[in-house]
Amino acid sequence: MEKMRTIRAAYEADIPVILEVLEAAKCIMRSSGNMLQWNDSYPSRGIILNDIRNGTAFVVEDGGATVAYFAFIPSPEPTYSYIEDGEWLDDDMPYHVIHRIGSLPDSHGIFKSIMDWSFSHDPNIRIDTHRDNHIMQHCILKYGFTYCGIIYLGSGDQRLAYQKIVTS
């Protein structure tokens, strides 16, 4: 029997399991050669707590067990105001940004579940990832996002930026 997958708002009580999920995601990154993304304590307990308090934190559950985490944040994203070597598909429409996707290693189809849910809430989604995160780049492109250029985080680190707009 297939487990029921749900996406729901995250609560402060979820923080310990969210941190475990994100730590597992870091291990996936490191084993695939992505040694630089999410170094140190990022994303920290404080960042997750801030996501929760802002109403932008979500968990993915399979059969009631938390298997993934992501932040779904309404525009504007300050680091997206400047894009290099390209341009956004549309720079006037409001959008949502998806940040901090992390999942357990034996959970499959998480990215698609998150994107299906996200596009049911907003037809215009932006996302970015580290140049070394080949797994995420594959998922983003497979889902139909368009590569738009390079953005810079507050730290100055580069990220590859993508956008997808669903029109009816």
Phi-psi sector, 109: left (phi>0), alpha (psi -120 to 50), beta = left
Q: In which residue ranges of the chain is pLDDT below 70?
A: 1-3
pLDDT of residue 25: 93
pLDDT of residue 3: 67
Q: Which domain holds residue 107?
A: 5-165
pLDDT of residue 165: 98
pLDDT of residue 33: 87
Query: CATH number of the domain that 89 lies in?
Result: 3.40.630.30
pLDDT of residue 146: 98
Specify whether the CB–CB gap between 138 and 112 falls below 8 A. no
Q: How far is CA 151 from each of CA 14, 100, 130, 142, rounded to the nearest angstrom?
A: 31, 16, 10, 21
pLDDT of residue 2: 54
Q: How far is CA 135 from the centre of its chain?
A: 13
Q: In angstroms, rounded to a whole number, what is the distance separating the alpha carbons of residues 112 and 74?
A: 20
Instruction: Output the six-digit token pair for 10.
Output: 């995250």
How many domains are there within the chain? 1
Q: In angstroms, rounded to a whole number, what is the distance separating the alpha carbons of residues 74 and 107?
A: 27
